[in-house]
Amino acid sequence: MRRDWDTIREILLAVEGLDGTKPLTLEDFEEERQPEISYHVTLLEEAGLVLSNSAPSLRTTRTTPFFVRRLTWDGHELLDQIRDDSVWRQTRQTIMEKGGGMALNVVSSLATHIIKNQIGI
């Protein structure tokens, strides 16, 4: 399975929207998307962007249940950079036009650059 940045952003936004009484779980997503969501939650936990109870080996292809409690500091930092729809669209478009990969540091750096340009820094 390939890493999908739209799915990553969707999960980060969903976790940020939690009210603190209930974690984000696999059942919060449509059944046909559950393998994709489970895989991406694992990636987010491995990257240190969310706190979750599950980080199975990426070698497994089965859908693993999870409970995401919250974003980490780094998760909040990344989401602050890519939350705005126009910044996100411009970030994705620029990377696609340049033919580059969407590595975490590239996404973060480019989104920060776009935000700085928008506010005139």
Q: Can you list the residues of the chain whose pLDDT is less than 50?
A: 55, 58-59
**pLDDT number for residue 96:** 85
The answer to the question of residue 105 being in a domain is: yes
The answer to the question of residue 31 being in a domain is: yes
Q: Residue 50: helix, strand or coil by DSSP?
A: strand
Determine the Cα–Cα distance for residues 98 and 37; give it in Å rounded to an integer: 28
Both 64 and 90 in one domain: the answer is: no
The residue range of the domain holding 101 is 84-119
Asked if 43 and 8 count as a contact pair (C-beta separation under 8 A), the reply is yes
The answer to the question of residue 76 being in a domain is: no
Number of domains in the chain: 2
